[in-house]
Chains A and B, each alone.
Chain A
Amino acid sequence: MKALRRLFHRLTSWATSARDEVLLRAEFEEHIAMQTADNLRAGLSPSEARRQALLKFGNVEAMKEGYRDQRGLPLTETLVLDTQHALRRLRKTPVFTGAVLLTLALGIGANTAIFAVIDGILIRPLPYPDPEALIRIGTSAPGLPGLPDSLGCSPSMYFTYREENRVFQYFGIWYVAGASLTGIAEPEQPRALFVTHGVLDALGVKPLLGRWFSETDDTPTSPETVMLTHGYWQRRFGGDTSIVGRTLTIDSTPRTVIGVMPANFRFQGDPELILPQRFERTEQSLGPFSSQGIARLKPDVTLEQAKADVARMLGIWLFAWPLPPGIDFTPFQNARLAPRVEPLKQDIVGNIGSTLWVVMGALGLVLLIACANVANLLLVRAEARQQELAIRAALGAGRGRIAREMLVESMTLGVLGGALGLGLASAALRLLVARGPDTLPRLDEIGIDPFVLAFACGVSVLAGAVFGVIPILKYAGPRVATALCGVGRTFSNGRERHRVRNTLVVVQVALALVLLIGSGLMIRTFQQLRSVPPGFTHPEEIQILHSTIPEALAKEPEHVMRMQHEILDRLAAIPGVVSVGFGDAAPLESFLRNGNPVYAEDITLTEGQVSPIRRIRKIAPGYFKALGTRLIAGREFTWTDLYEKRRVAIVSENLAQEWWGVPGAALGKWIREGGPADPWREIVGVVENVYDNGVNVKAPEFAYWPALMDQYIWGGKDGVAVSFGMFAIRSSRTATQGLLAEAHRAIWSVNGREPVFLVTTLKTLYDQSMARTSFTLVMVALAGGMALVLGIVGLYGVIAYVVSQRTREIGIRTVLGAQPAELLATFVRHGLVLAGIGTALGLMAAAGVMRLMSSLLFGVTALDPVTYLAVSALLVAAAVLASYLPTRRAIAVDPVKALRAE
């Protein structure tokens, strides 16, 4: 109770301290005046009376200090005072302060930004209630080579899993695709999420307006419905709340809007519309695995239990459904189908973690180097203040008091730098969110939240402490005598005084080398990627557009093909267009990949063996010419091939080599897709490999079919034509508004205002396929560049300081006849020794650390000797320059002037 009351008094008196100070002085004065009066009465002379009174009272300032300690909050007060002092001192040296703050702001800002990215992507839970219970369900088929690691779920699985499971609270399947919205001024192709009942229930995000899909919406005979996401509702309908109940024409079907999702609803693929999936149960077979499964586990069900349950249901499913048309049971038997069950977050985040942690590590090293630099600057500063500190120590300032003051100065720098860094980070993040690579998941969830803020504060304070402690250890000690006489002309500087600084520089050089090697390896990786011929040429000239021929316009395959042909001719007639191509997808369009086993007539499989999955693409004449894919043997398709429905095929070089050794030998061979339902087709051409999965992975083997066929495994009785197709336009006017407008007109003049979508250039697709590498490259190179500059500035600073301290010595030696070259060599050698030790340490560290990066490298090993040598040479050269420049300046000074210096 007493203590509380005292604290209260201390707090209030802290606030009124200025007035109290005056009163206190008055009280003391009065005390001394009374004593003086008594002394006078006792017969002392006036001056002696006052002197005795003062003596008796004791040291007024010490009393005040003691009084103050009692009164306010002494620690806080001195802290405030010390901070004020520190700020004043920092203001007096704007260059030093500016340099330190800039260094710290960059270091802390970069680390805060990347931490915000890591927080947003990896750490923060998914934006759904109780997100740990959400899992993704897929299928793996290790027995079928050529398939992706993880397949999705089929509609038949949806029925089996929904009905047989014991562990799911909700279960549903979904996929994202385009849906054309027509009947409005500008037809468009919004991104649509197709869900079954159970997907939204599993996510648990309630709609803002209207209702969720019910089981009725999934029933094929019920009225068609649609939901909107918040962003699309705002953008397209201005947030009009009367939207619920209105009708929109989507994919030529009128649908009633039943609800709008809230603004905080997020989902993979960033959908704009949500549509129900309706399956006719009687029409389902085992395939296709094109949807993703999502489930919310019942409380207390573990991931392992879920896996076991899905494995059990997979066994039921395999024998409960008919085979897909034209495919026999062998592939299913040999596929070794297994469930792939993982937390939803893992599915969304993917393997981006390794990249992000590498970048974070690199930027962390940069911050360390920055701290070393700042510590060096502070050392110089402390040395300049050594005499002042010694005098204060002599006058009774304790080691702790001086240390506290120095620490407060460093902390002030740290916090100010951190504040600036936070500003930089938030600007950088805004830029990243606005135009970051699409391959970064959860991009729009990245931002500065309290957690990131706490990180920034922590890093700032920690940085302040790290670089603040070094000068304290060295100078706050009570070595009054040495300090007082050791400064000035009497002594030359001892070796010992430079040891700390030298160590710091060695550490800086070593860290910088590690980062530079990292950047070097990334640059080599990028070069290697760029040097892979991707299977197309000058992608920047290739404009890509997609559009569709609606069934209402043409149903008969040949009619569809004629219309696509018509569009192609009109596109080719646009001024500036060199060539045009048509097919079901462009290279690198990952979302439109098609694959199936392909069989060759003369290659017999051993019993039980399954033919690997090959990539299938359906194309029209001109496709390869427009993309720049080289023909290696034979010929391209012709329009006659298509319209006469000849059974022809083209294969990629790697497929021809695998089966027949040399590409030319493939000509005249017969192949088909899937099984007996597909007719044999004769190979008429072999083309170069197209790196359809990105240049960093093996090029898939391709089979190209004509865009119009009379009989096809997936087609109907009348044959099949590509109605949902891609147009590739090679032109010097690619990506200009003019070309796009003319291309739209050409397409619309034939298909009657169906939306044109997925408009991009092949260059964009190509860059996106390397986005992760270029993102890492840019970040690591940025870190490497900063490290190089900071490290070299640090070295320069040390050499310049050493030289400036030894200016007199240089003067004396010059007068005595020393050659400038010799003197130069002395200092440059000093710099070289430091850089040499740093490089050696750095090389050892790099050899260990770079292993962590190996998953990001391509075509270059983590111990690439060329990179290691080149980077070391670069660093040593920079070190020589950094030592040479300040020395030369000192030597050029007139010796007389040098001797008079100080």
Chain B
Amino acid sequence: MKDTDVRKGTLALMVLKTLDVLGPLHGYGIARRIEQISGDLLTVNQGMLYPVLLKLEQEGSIASEWGASENNRKARFYRLTRQGRKQLQAEARSWEQTAAIIERFFAAKAQDLK
């Protein structure tokens, strides 16, 4: 339960970052990109991406529009909104902080805490 929550959170962050770096992209593109970088995380179910995309869109962090894919078929392209960019910055910062704290905790040895 907690595990999926964390993953959903990280997934959302990854989506935002991907769109920030690569610009407007369809679902498959986002999935590929995340898969390339994260390796394992999305290999289980690419479909899991879509509920996250919907949530982000409902929150206004991303927007979508229909366009032509490279196969010349209809595909839905997602892009980062201004609010999404702000959210990305904020969350990236908080993520770094969290990561730093966790790292320090793991690095700490018993005698350091005396």
Contacts and interface: CB of A to CB of B under 8 A. Distances in A.
Interface of A: 2, 5-6, 9-10, 23-24, 26-28, 30-31, 33-35, 37-38, 56-60, 62-63, 66-67, 69-71
Contacts, number: 77
Nearest to B54: A70
A28 B47 contact: yes
Given A5-B59, A57-B45, A27 B76 contact: yes
A26 B74 contact: yes
B54 A71 contact: yes
A66 B71 contact: no
A62 B47 CA distance: 9
B12 interface: no
Interface in B61-78: 69, 71, 73-76
Contact of B58 (A6, A26, A35, A59): A6
Interface string B43-60: 111111011001101111
B27 to A, nearest CB: 5
Given A27-B27, A30-B28, A58 B46 contact: yes
B31 interface: yes
Contact of A56 (B46, B55, B71): B46
Nearest to B43: A56
Contact of B51 (A10, A34, A66): A66
A33 B44 CA distance: 18
Contacts of A57: 45-47
A56 B51 CA distance: 16
A33 B71 CA distance: 9
B28 A31 contact: yes
B17 interface: no
A230 B74 CA distance: 74
A58 B28 contact: no
A60 B59 contact: no
B30 to A, nearest CB: 10
B44 A58 contact: yes
A192 B74 CA distance: 85
Given A31-B47, A63-B47, 20 more contacts: A5-B59, A6-B58, A28-B50, A30-B75, A30-B76, A31-B31, A31-B46, A33-B73, A34-B26, A34-B71, A35-B28, A56-B45, A57-B45, A57-B46, A57-B47, A58-B46, A63-B50, A66-B51, A70-B51, A70-B55
Contacts of A30: 26-28, 69, 73-76
A437 B46 CA distance: 75
A22 to B, nearest CB: 11
A60 B27 CA distance: 15
A287 to B, nearest CB: 84
A37 B31 CA distance: 15
A525 to B, nearest CB: 66
Contacts of B54: 67, 70-71
Given A2-B59, A35-B28, A58 B47 contact: yes
Contact of A10 (B27, B43, B58): B58
A31 B27 contact: yes
A403 to B, nearest CB: 22
Contacts of B32: 38
A30 B26 CA distance: 10
B77 to A, nearest CB: 11
A67 B47 CA distance: 10
B74 to A, nearest CB: 6
Contact of B50 (A10, A38, A59, A67): A67
Contacts of B57: 9
A37 B32 CA distance: 13
Given A31-B27, A33-B71, A5 B60 contact: yes
Contacts of B48: 58, 63, 66
Contacts of B74: 26, 30
Nearest to A29: B73
Interface string B12-45: 0000000000000011100110000000000111
A71 B71 CA distance: 28
Nearest to A3: B59
B71 A37 contact: yes
Contact of A63 (B31, B43, B51, B75): B51
Contacts of B59: 2, 5-6
A38 B43 CA distance: 15
A5 B75 contact: no
Nearest to A69: B51
A2 B51 CA distance: 17
A2 B87 CA distance: 12
Contacts of A34: 26, 28, 69, 71, 75
A64 to B, nearest CB: 9
9 contacts: A2-B59, A5-B58, A6-B59, A26-B74, A27-B50, A31-B31, A33-B71, A33-B73, A69-B51
A85 B43 CA distance: 37
Contacts of B55: 6, 70
A42 to B, nearest CB: 13
9 nearest A-B residue pairs (beta carbon): A58-B45, A63-B47, A9-B58, A58-B47, A34-B28, A31-B28, A6-B58, A66-B51, A57-B47
A478 B35 CA distance: 39
A28 B31 CA distance: 12
A58 B57 CA distance: 22
B43 to A, nearest CB: 7
Nearest to A26: B74
A9 B73 CA distance: 27
Contacts of A2: 59-60
Contact of B47 (A6, A33, A38, A59): A59
A37 B74 CA distance: 15
Nearest to B57: A9
Contacts of B69: 30, 34
A385 B62 CA distance: 47
Nearest to B74: A26
A71 B50 CA distance: 11
A35 B27 CA distance: 11
A23 B57 CA distance: 15
Contacts of A58: 44-48
A67 B28 contact: no
